[in-house]
Amino acid sequence: MKKVDLKKDLKQFYKASAKNVVQVDIPTFRFLMIDGKGDPNTSQEYAQAVEALFSVSYTAKFMVKKGPQNLDYSVMPLEGLWWADDMSAFVANDREDWKWTMMIMQPDFVADEVLEAAITAVRIKKQLPAIDQLRLEEFSEGRCAQVLHVGPFSEEGPTIENLHAFIDSRSGLTGKHHEIYLSDIRRADPSKWKTIIRQPMQ
């Protein structure tokens, strides 16, 4: 059986330095996505969205593994786009007004039909509240800057300021604040959580 490690194959996009902000040109990727609003620490809507994304992504993985492709691959990490209608709420950490799109990248070799079948299978088996909010969409960010933050989410502030300063010295910010969660926060010590913070540049 052939095995594919996408995080390794796409390491320039899914691996980052905690010491240096770098500029990257992100190609178009395909994602399963769910939109929502509210504090990710307390929102039931957020927890349900994450559960639906992972349930379908892992179901699709096993369908590909057991199907004619006979291919094993690693499910990609959870990612989030974050913003607020009034960005002062974002800066002030007023999480109730935060809006988000949570998403997991899907490999090119996983056909749309497989993902649709995985959604149907999860809908029947688990009856998850968020399953019907899932959508499959191509997402293009283009020119971005990114850096690795090590530690709890509550301490991201200086890392984000460093990232924004890098961008401001070259062009300007555009698009949505983007985070890629490389650690399993249910198991890892918060002081060791690894999060890629990415911001599109003009």
Which one of 117, 139, 161 terminates a domain?
Answer: 139
What is the structure's pLDDT at 87?
62
Please count the other Cβ atoms lying within 10 Å of the Cβ belonging to residue 18. Answer: 12
Residue tagged 């935060």 (tokens): 98
Contacts (Cβ under 8 Å, ≥6 apart) of 57: 32, 75, 76, 104, 106, 118
- Specify the pLDDT at position 88: 65
In a domain, 7, yes or no: no
Indicate the residue among 93, 123, 139 that finishes a domain: 139
In angstroms, the Cα distances linking 10 to 16, 115, 142, 194 are: 11, 21, 15, 17
Judge if 47 and 103 occupy the same domain.
Answer: yes
If we measure between CA atoms, which residue out of 60, 38, 56 comes closest to residue 47? 38
pLDDT along the chain (202 residues), means of 10: 90 95 97 94 93 98 95 96 77 77 97 97 96 97 97 91 95 95 88 96 96
Q: Does 123 share its domain with 192? A: no
Do 104 and 186 belong together in one domain? no
47: β partners: none
Is residue 160 domain-resident?
Answer: yes
pLDDT computed for residue 89 by the predictor? 62
Domain count, the chain: 2
pLDDT of res. 84? 83
Is the pTM for the entire model greater than 0.75? yes
Reported as a single tens digit per residue, the pLDDT across 48-58 is 999 999 999 99
| Residue 152 shares a structural domain with residue 75 | no
pLDDT given at position 24 = 97
Q: Is the CB of residue 104 less than 8 Å from the CB of residue 58?
A: no
Quick one: 54 and 110 in the same domain? yes
168 domain-assigned: yes
Residue 46 belongs to a domain: yes
Report yes or no on 4 lying in a domain: no
What CATH number corresponds to the domain at position 176? Answer: 3.20.80.10
